[in-house]
C-alpha cells in the first residue's frame, strides 16, 4: 500500500482493532480474580497498545 489512501485505511483499521482489543481485554480483566496489582499492570498493558498504535500512525504520516 504505497498510496496515501491505502495508508489511511490501514492506519484507521489498526487503530480501531487495537482499541477494540483493549476494550475486550479490560472487560475480561474486570471479571478476573487477580489481585489489584496484577489487574493494574495488565490494565496498563491493555491501555498502552492503542497509544502506541496512534504514535506509530503519527510517525507514519510525519513529513
**Number of domains observed in the structure of the chain:** 1
Is there a contact between 15 and 54 (Cβ–Cβ < 8 Å)? yes
pLDDT of residue 3: 79
Which cell numbers in the block locate residue 6?
491505502
Q: Does the structure show a pLDDT above 60 at 16?
A: yes
pTM metric for this prediction: 0.74
Q: Please give the share of the chain, as a percent, with pLDDT higher than 90.
A: 8
What is the distance between the alpha carbons of residues 63 and 57, in angstroms, rounded to a whole number? 12
Q: Which domain holds residue 37?
A: 4-60
What is the distance between the alpha carbons of residues 40 and 38, in angstroms, rounded to a whole number? 5
Q: Distance from CA of residue 25 to its chain's centroid? A: 11
Amino acid at each position: 500500500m504505497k498510496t496515501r489512501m491505502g495508508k489511511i485505511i490501514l492506519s484507521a483499521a489498526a487503530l480501531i482493532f487495537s482499541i477494540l482489543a483493549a476494550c475486550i481485554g479490560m472487560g475480561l480483566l474486570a471479571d478476573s480474580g487477580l489481585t489489584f496489582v496484577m489487574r493494574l499492570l495488565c490494565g496498563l498493558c491493555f491501555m498502552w497498545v492503542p497509544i502506541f498504535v496512534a504514535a506509530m500512525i503519527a510517525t507514519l504520516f510525519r513529513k
